[in-house]
Amino acid sequence: MDIKYIGEHLLPGQLGHFSAVLAFVASMVATVSYFMSVQSKEELLKESWKKLARWAFIIQALAVFSTFGTLYYALYNHYFEYKYVWRNSSRDLPVSYLLSSFWADQEGSFLLWSIWHSVLGLILLRVGKKWEAPVMTVLSFAQVCLGSMLIGIYILGYRVGSNPFLLLRQAEENLGLPWVSNANYLDFITDGNGLNLSLQNYWMVIHPPVLFLGFASTIIPFAYAFAGLWTRDYKEWIKPALPWSLFSAMILGTGIMMGAAWAYESLTFGGYWAWDPVENASLVPWLTLVAGIHTLLAFKFSGHALKSTFFFLLITFILILYSTFLTRSGVLGDTSVHSFTDLGMSGQLLLYMAVFTIPGFAMLIMRRKEIPSVVKEESTYSREFWLFIGSLVLMIAAIQITFTTSIPVWNKIINGLGIKKLLNLQQDIAPPSDGVFHYNKIQIWIAIVLGLLTAIVQYLKYKDTPKGFFTKKIAIPTVVALVITGLIGIFGNINYDAYGAGFLVAIYIMLFCSVYAIVGNAAYIFIGQKGKLKAAGASIAHVGFGMILLGILISASKREVISIDRMKMLDGGFFGKESKENPRENLMLPRNFPVQMGDYHVTYAGDSLAAGDAKTYYLVRYERRDPANGNILEKFTLHPDAFLSNRGQQQLTPNPDSRHYWTKDIFTYITAVPIKDDPANDTAQYSSHEIAPGDSVFFANGYMILEGIQPQPNNPNYKAESNDLAVGAQLKVFTKNNEQYNLLPVYCLRDSSREITVADTVAPLSLYVRFSKILPKEKKILLQVKESDTFKDYIVMKAFIFPFINVLWIGILVMVIGFAMSIVYRVKLNKVKKIQS
């Protein structure tokens, strides 16, 4: 049966899918042709294969661009007949976030990756020279693998890839549904599902392209290393591979830290790094890549460490594939909050990993004897020796992070092999309950060693360092670093004791090491390189690295939660045994009612909506007063915001707002708000308290003390009459934020028989107090207290101070600049050498 559907735009989809298939086929042709070109002995045959391969690669690149263009076109025009468009965008989505929609899902992000491979490939066509054919074989083959993720064709009953141009009515879950046979079904689908709210952020427009360029570029060092093994030209490849490796490390590092910045600015786990599996999975390849760069340099200048260079550059790309597998196969499920959903491509992803791992490492193992190495041992006083040690330390870091991150994989393996009993396990392995400390306690020691090595290794010379040279040169930086550390230690007041004294000692050692890394490398520019900035890229990158370590250390160890709910501490919580599990970090702010928080008085002053913006903005006013005279020293307003609903469903998706200073950030976000349209029903009951003067009564927002009983009370709601016998309970109310109120509820006996009680209230607290009886025998009075629930305008928020977080951000910039300078320097050096030879 053929239904003629009305209103569908099928052309873009057909074009897009055709392009995707074309890209897949053309990259296969390119792979085979480049392969033949490498394997051919005759020069003429080599060239003609290469020519064919080039054309094939250019066609595949154009096809990838065309796929990208069509998908964007469909998104831009809201063609909801396509599942990808329907699933990831909606009509009200600002155009600037359309790109976020583009890579919100697996297919789009694979496409992004593929685009970067194409761009890098086109550059390699120009600059590859004699390495073009073998390197491009690897790259083209990667394009075959990526292309296969996007074709969505059934081969032998197994669906290969997932087609981003799949029509909504053809999607598996919709097949057979009644609306699918409705010719005018599009009339009913008026809007898309919309983009995940946490992705509606400008960081999500720029972070993925940079990160994926980082991912994509790791294949080039891999391909060069592979080409070196393949063509048995074991040494020559490192020259072009060095600037590419630097480029890759720079971009991947930037991409990772942009993700951290996104997390810091728009997610609410209260920081920039949470050791989440997704973060870890992209950090680990960066660590091995940096290790590879260092062994590569060691080899270049001393001839040592060639095998480890092969190893590190090969493993980096494999780890990128492993991280892709972790985040995209659904295996992380329980342990990560932000992985992709399973598209049923686990098998394909594993295959992708295998087809690169096996040939790469098989060749490295088989040809290990052919790889040239220096017989003579390196001297302990040589730079290459310590570069090698540093790389091994980076690898230990990588191993530890991978080991813990892979827990879900261990579970799969254990269950798959059926060896649970053997390991004496009843249940699945769970990640450490204190995840952050689990990583920190190991990684802090690694950071210490790395900081130390970063500081001193540049002062060693390759091959051998003359005695006295090293100690003479490093003396000044060491003293300076010690002095600075001492000053920070004395004035910085670092007393992070949540994990005991041992960890605090480690913090101080790391403080010294990171300062040492900064000072040592900054000084090296003058001591070692005589101020020649052109060659100082490495030193500058190392200064940046030191600053990153320092920034992480200070902002993490001195992070302070200021939104502590101090009131509940009074009834036993704070000093009791529960204090550790209940840190009381959420603070409730009633509207227009200042609450003390750290040095600040904070007032929630209402919410507001902006036209064309789905978010609600909350005005939170901060005020800092001079404790001596009460003058306002500082005043500012933060606007933490939140999406209150998602497609008509109640849901709070908050975004933080921060006040930035040079020395700290005040970071604020909403954790709960009342449901606005809830009918206000006052269900609160009066609670009774029998008290004598001097006794106190606690309530949610503070406590009150009965100061005394006052005859002839003066309460505006009470009008004295002649036969009254009236007394007032003179109460002093102390609130959370040290504000005081006086209350005077009145008890009156009128005409010796009629009891009248006149309640008194503290309006901002919705506090009602009644003086309802005198108990003469006990010399006490009966006081009734009620806190009303009707008061419904409030927010619950958290606030942190991140001190010196700018050191971290500046450190990243400095490191990127250092990398860029090194790349320029190395590329120039390579060119000069070519002209000379």
Partner 1 sequence: MKKSNIILLILIAVAIGIIVTVAGDFSTYETFATARQKEGKEFQVIGKLDTTKVMEYNPQKDANLFRFYVIDKTGETRPVVFYGTKPTDFEKAESVVLTGKMSNGEFKCSKILMKCPSKYKNDQVAMGKA
Contact footprint for partner 1 (CB under 8 A): 83, 86-87, 168, 171, 173-174, 177, 179, 187-190, 193, 196, 333-334, 337, 341, 377-378, 380, 388-389, 392, 396, 399-400, 403-404, 407, 425-434, 438, 442, 565, 568, 578, 581-588, 590, 651-653, 671-672, 674, 700, 787, 789, 791, 794, 796
Query: Could you tell me the smallest distance in angstroms from the CB atom of residue 12 to partner 1?
Result: 20
Query: Could you tell me the smallest distance in angstroms from the CB atom of residue 810 to partner 1?
Result: 31
| HSE toward the beta carbon, residue 723, CA cutoff 13 A | 7
Q: Whole-angstrom Cα distance, residue 756 to residue 106? A: 72
Task: Decide whether 46 or 420 has the Cβ nearer to partner 1.
Answer: 420
Q: Whole-angstrom Cα distance, residue 199 to residue 263? A: 11
Give 831: exposed, middle or buried? Use CB within 10 Å, 0-12, 13-18, 19+: exposed
Task: Decide whether 137 or 382 has the Cβ nearer to partner 1.
Answer: 382
Query: Could you tell me the smallest distance in angstroms from the CB atom of residue 89 to partner 1?
Result: 13
Query: Could you tell me the smallest distance in angstroms from the CB atom of residue 813 to partner 1?
Result: 32
Query: Could you tell me the smallest distance in angstroms from the CB atom of residue 412 to partner 1?
Result: 15
Tell me if residue 811 falls in helix, strand or coil.
helix
Instruction: Residue 758: name the closest of 767, 748, 773, 766 by CA.
Output: 748
Single-letter code of the amino acid located at 70 = T
Query: In this structure, are residues 23 and 114 in contact, taking their beta carbons and an 8 Å threshold?
Result: yes
Q: Whole-angstrom Cα distance, residue 793 to residue 682? A: 14
Task: Decide whether 373 or 688 has the Cβ nearer to partner 1.
Answer: 373
Query: Could you tell me the smallest distance in angstroms from the CB atom of residue 736 to partner 1?
Result: 11
Within its chain, how far is the Cα of 30 from the centroid? 37
Q: Edge-to-edge strand order for the sheet containing 760-762?
A: 687-691, 780-787, 767-775, 760-762
Single-letter code of the amino acid located at 247 = F
Backbone angles phi, psi at 797, to 5 degrees: -140, 165
Query: Could you tell me the smallest distance in angstroms from the CB atom of residue 607 to partner 1?
Result: 16
Q: Whole-angstrom Cα distance, residue 714 to residue 711? A: 9
Which contacts of 647-656 are long-range, i.e. CB under 8 A and separated by 24 or more positions?
647/193, 647/194, 650/675, 653/197, 653/198, 654/268, 655/201, 655/265, 655/266, 655/268, 655/615, 656/265, 656/266, 656/268
Q: Whole-angstrom Cα distance, residue 561 to residue 769? A: 33
Query: In this structure, are residues 659 and 650 in contact, taking their beta carbons and an 8 Å threshold?
Result: no
Query: Could you tell me the smallest distance in angstroms from the CB atom of residue 389 to partner 1?
Result: 7
Q: Whole-angstrom Cα distance, residue 417 to residue 419? A: 5
Query: In this structure, are residues 759 and 550 in contact, taking their beta carbons and an 8 Å threshold?
Result: no
Single-letter code of the amino acid located at 755 = E
Tell me if residue 560 falls in helix, strand or coil.
strand
Task: Decide whether 60 or 766 has the Cβ nearer to partner 1.
Answer: 766
Query: Which tokens hold the place of 298?
Result: 């060691």
Q: Which residues pair with 691 in a beta bridge?
A: 781
Query: Which tokens hold the place of 531?
Result: 């101020």
Query: Could you tell me the smallest distance in angstroms from the CB atom of residue 356 to partner 1?
Result: 24
Task: Decide whether 61 or 111 has the Cβ nearer to partner 1.
Answer: 111
Task: Decide whether 190 or 637 has the Cβ nearer to partner 1.
Answer: 190
Task: Decide whether 6 or 425 has the Cβ nearer to partner 1.
Answer: 425
Task: Decide whether 425 or 775 has the Cβ nearer to partner 1.
Answer: 425
Task: Decide whether 584 or 615 has the Cβ nearer to partner 1.
Answer: 584
Q: Whole-angstrom Cα distance, residue 341 to residue 362? A: 33
R_g over Cα of the chain: 34
Task: Decide whether 395 or 481 has the Cβ nearer to partner 1.
Answer: 395
Q: Where do the DSSP E strands lie in 129-233?
A: 153-155, 158-160
Query: In this structure, are residues 494 and 508 in contact, taking their beta carbons and an 8 Å threshold?
Result: yes
Query: Could you tell me the smallest distance in angstroms from the CB atom of residue 522 to partner 1?
Result: 30
Task: Decide whether 188 or 575 has the Cβ nearer to partner 1.
Answer: 188
Tell me if residue 567 falls in helix, strand or coil.
helix
Task: Decide whether 356 or 385 has the Cβ nearer to partner 1.
Answer: 385
Task: Decide whether 14 or 380 has the Cβ nearer to partner 1.
Answer: 380
Query: Could you tell me the smallest distance in angstroms from the CB atom of residue 421 to partner 1?
Result: 14
Task: Decide whether 11 or 675 has the Cβ nearer to partner 1.
Answer: 675
Task: Decide whether 196 or 596 has the Cβ nearer to partner 1.
Answer: 196
Query: Could you tell me the smallest distance in angstroms from the CB atom of residue 652 to partner 1?
Result: 5
Tell me if residue 179 falls in helix, strand or coil.
helix
Query: Could you tell me the smallest distance in angstroms from the CB atom of residue 310 to partner 1?
Result: 16
- Angle at which helices 537-557 and 500-527 cross, to 10°: 160
Task: Decide whether 378 or 739 has the Cβ nearer to partner 1.
Answer: 378
DSSP result, 480-535: HHHHHHHHHHHHH-----TTHHHHHHHHHHHHHHHHHHHHHHHHHHHHTTTT-GGG
Task: Decide whether 637 or 651 has the Cβ nearer to partner 1.
Answer: 651
What count of other Cβ atoms lies within 10 Å of the Cβ of residue 723?
A: 11
Tell me if residue 418 falls in helix, strand or coil.
coil
Query: Could you tell me the smallest distance in angstroms from the CB atom of residue 411 to partner 1?
Result: 10
Q: What is the DSSP letter of 382?
A: S
The residues, ordered by sequence, that sit 6+ positions from 271 with a Cβ below 8 Å of its Cβ are: 263, 264, 556, 559, 802
Query: Could you tell me the smallest distance in angstroms from the CB atom of residue 436 to partner 1?
Result: 11
Query: Could you tell me the smallest distance in angstroms from the CB atom of residue 667 to partner 1?
Result: 17
| HSE toward the beta carbon, residue 275, CA cutoff 13 A | 22
Number of residues that make up the chain: 837
Query: Could you tell me the smallest distance in angstroms from the CB atom of residue 403 to partner 1?
Result: 6
Q: Whole-angstrom Cα distance, residue 103 to residue 123? A: 24
